[in-house]
Amino acid sequence: MPDSTAVPPTPPVPLSALLAREDLALRRIAGPDDPGTVVHWVHTSEMADPYPYLLGGELLLTAGVHIPEAAGSGTYFDDYVARIVAAGGAALGFGVAPVHDTVPRALVAACERYGLPLLEVPPQTTFSGVARAVWQLMAQARLSELRRVTEAQRNLASAASRPDPVPSVLRQLAQRLGGWAVLYGPEGAQIAEAGRRPGEETGSALAELAGVVRPSEGDSAPPPPPLAPPPPNRPHPTSATDTVSGTHLAAYALGAGRRGFVLGVAVPGRAPGDHTIVSVAAVLLALLTGEQQSGTGAARSSALVRLLLGAAPEDVAPLLGDGRRWVVVHARPDGEGVPDAVAASALGAALGSALVDPAGDVVRVLVPAGRAPEPLPGWTLGVSADVAPEDWPAADTQAARALARARATRAPLLRHGPRPALADLVPPGEAAAHARALLAPVTAHPALPETLRTWLSLHGSWDRTAVALSVHRNTVRQRIARCAALLEADLDDPDVRMELWFALRQI
């Protein structure tokens, strides 16, 4: 059987709007005059049984070529109309002339019996003209819907930036939907509302629907620590809908676990774009209430204040999760341009961390070590080794170098991978002293040590070093020549290169 629920991504057209087109001069001559009848598409067929070719929701157009001469005396028209109704057809349009001068009376009677709207299409109106009118009405409806959704998004975002963001968002949402919007707290209590309150029965039904998307006490587990991955297989749906006394109800969960808030809406009828508008409001309210759910925002703010006041990273780290090790990720978007705050936040979400720093053309993210970053489309990533909080600065340097190598080698992601080496046999203090003495002639010029380090790491490639440092290859040549002169060293000698590489790793 054709699927009457399969509808195109365009809004339906009310049959009344099509009948109102004076240029078409269509006339309804049978079937119910229901303002709720809509058309999803137009189909022309001269088949005696169009059922196999209908998807549902069509305005079926025919000139009656398929009608046999003796059709009026049998069950032909009843069978024909019954099959259209069974397929989910919205209406039947019959074109008069050149085959039939008038619409057959038996067809009119059959449409009345089966409740199928029957339209008379006059000779001057072509079937293609009817189809074009439907597409035009659909395009107008889609444009109107997009304008409505865009305006609602803008106004909801503006409401979220007000000093009283939650009530403002609810007021704006209720105004846009022409209904009632309510925010339920973690324990089910009504926290805020806006719009016209429905009757007691509808209000109770909406509160019960909110409970559907809120886990019960027995189902809930202790809230996850900040920045921990969400628990798998959440047992409850994140949204639910119902209809009570002609009022459409919907509930949206704004957070996981029993600490979650729920947005409920009650509207007299659904209009195109309503779901998108409510979804935008739900996202904004989730952001506004999220800080209260897990304390993550408060923990981040506290950590920042303590760092600014001189606390050591290892003293601040417990606010972000006890006993954690971390990796630092440096990321640059592919192509030109600087990532904005939205892109940086989306990157952090993809990496599983809210600790994001969009610093110029590079985004830095502090990620719990248990979440191994994977390549992301549109980004080049450099990832540090996993470290304790006191080694965050060193990890930041590792990630920067890994990103430079990733860009130079056109790899989507490179990780810093330390391993035991001969250099580990030299006491760190002695190694650092040797490095400072050896590199003293070039460290007075900040660009020279980094250029030398990158050039050596890329095996003396001028072009890849230039890409990694975002400079011209001639600049690289000039800097390396300057390093050779200041160090009084032959940089083509592998022993010299090895010693310099050892020293550069110590600074």
Residue 439 has pLDDT above 80, yes or no: yes
Residue 180 has pLDDT above 80, yes or no: yes
Q: What is the pLDDT of residue 335?
A: 74
Neighbours of 462 (CB within 10 A): 16
Q: What is the pLDDT of residue 4?
A: 43
The pTM assigned to this predicted structure is 0.47
CB 177 within 8 A of CB 265: yes
H or E stretch including 277? helix 274-294
Residue 2 has pLDDT above 50, yes or no: no
Neighbours of 118 (CB within 10 A): 22
Phi, psi angles (nearest 5°) of residue 260 = -75, 145
Q: What is the pLDDT of residue 383?
A: 92
- Cα 321 to Cα 500: distance, rounded to the nearest angstrom: 39
- Cα 326 to Cα 505: distance, rounded to the nearest angstrom: 21
- For residue 13, the cross-strand partners are 39
CB 205 within 8 A of CB 226: no
- Cα 281 to Cα 275: distance, rounded to the nearest angstrom: 10
At the topology level of CATH, where does 13-136 sit? 3.40.1390
Alpha carbon of residue 242 to chain centroid: 25
CB 208 within 8 A of CB 200: no
Report percent pLDDT > 90 for the chain: 31
Q: What is the pLDDT of residue 257?
A: 45
What is the 8-class DSSP label of residue 12?
Answer: P
Give the CATH architecture of domain 422-504. Orthogonal Bundle (1.10)
Q: What is the pLDDT of residue 323?
A: 56
CB 88 within 8 A of CB 120: no
**Tokens found for residue 155:** 């106004």
Among residues 180, 178, 179, 160, the alpha carbon closest in space to that of 169 is found at 160
**Picking from 76-85, 212-221, 354-363, 434-443, which range would have the lowest pLDDT averaged per residue?**
212-221
Tens digits of per-residue pLDDT, 123-148?
999 999 999 999 999 988 888 888 88
What is the 8-class DSSP label of residue 320?
Answer: G
- Cα 347 to Cα 341: distance, rounded to the nearest angstrom: 10
pLDDT greater at residue 145 or residue 10: 145
CB neighbours of 415 closer than 8 A, spacing ≥ 6?
382, 383, 384, 385, 402
- Cα 454 to Cα 471: distance, rounded to the nearest angstrom: 12
CB 247 within 8 A of CB 122: no
- Cα 190 to Cα 170: distance, rounded to the nearest angstrom: 13
Tens digits of per-residue pLDDT, 390-403?
888 888 888 988 88
CB 364 within 8 A of CB 357: yes
Residue 173 has pLDDT above 50, yes or no: yes
Tens digits of per-residue pLDDT, 276-319?
888 888 888 887 776 444 445 556 666 666 676 777 777 777 77
Q: What is the pLDDT of residue 297?
A: 58
**Picking from 5-14, 19-28, 261-270, 474-483, which range would have the lowest pLDDT averaged per residue?**
5-14
- Cα 429 to Cα 431: distance, rounded to the nearest angstrom: 5
- The yes/no answer on whether domain 161-294 falls in CATH 3.30.450.30 is yes
Under the banding of pLDDT at 50, 70 and 90, the label for residue 89 is very high
Report percent pLDDT > 70 for the chain: 83
**Picking from 111-115, 148-152, 193-197, 272-276, which range would have the lowest pLDDT averaged per residue?**
272-276
What is the 8-class DSSP label of residue 507?
Answer: -
Residue 75 has pLDDT above 50, yes or no: yes
Q: What is the pLDDT of residue 324?
A: 72
Phi, psi angles (nearest 5°) of residue 84 = -65, -45
Among residues 115, 40, 41, the alpha carbon closest in space to that of 82 is found at 115
Q: What is the chain's Cα-based Rg?
A: 34
HSE-CB of 322 using CA atoms within 13 angstroms: 1
Among residues 111, 281, 136, the alpha carbon closest in space to that of 195 is found at 281
Tens digits of per-residue pLDDT, 232-288?
444 457 788 888 888 899 988 886 544 568 899 999 877 778 888 888 888 888 877
- Between 447-457 and 392-409, two packed helices, what is the crossing angle to 10 degrees? 60
Q: What is the pLDDT of residue 231?
A: 47
CB 130 within 8 A of CB 91: no
Owner of token pair 């059922």: 51
Residue 225 has pLDDT above 60, yes or no: no
Q: What is the pLDDT of residue 49?
A: 94
- Between 127-160 and 165-177, two packed helices, what is the crossing angle to 10 degrees? 160
Q: What is the pLDDT of residue 11?
A: 80
Phi, psi angles (nearest 5°) of residue 339 = -65, 135
H or E stretch including 46? none
Tell me which long-range contacts 204-207 makes (C-beta under 8 A, separation of at least 24): 205/242, 205/244, 205/249, 206/180, 206/182, 206/249, 206/251, 206/264, 206/265, 206/266, 207/264
Tens digits of per-residue pLDDT, 415-437?
887 655 555 556 677 778 888 88
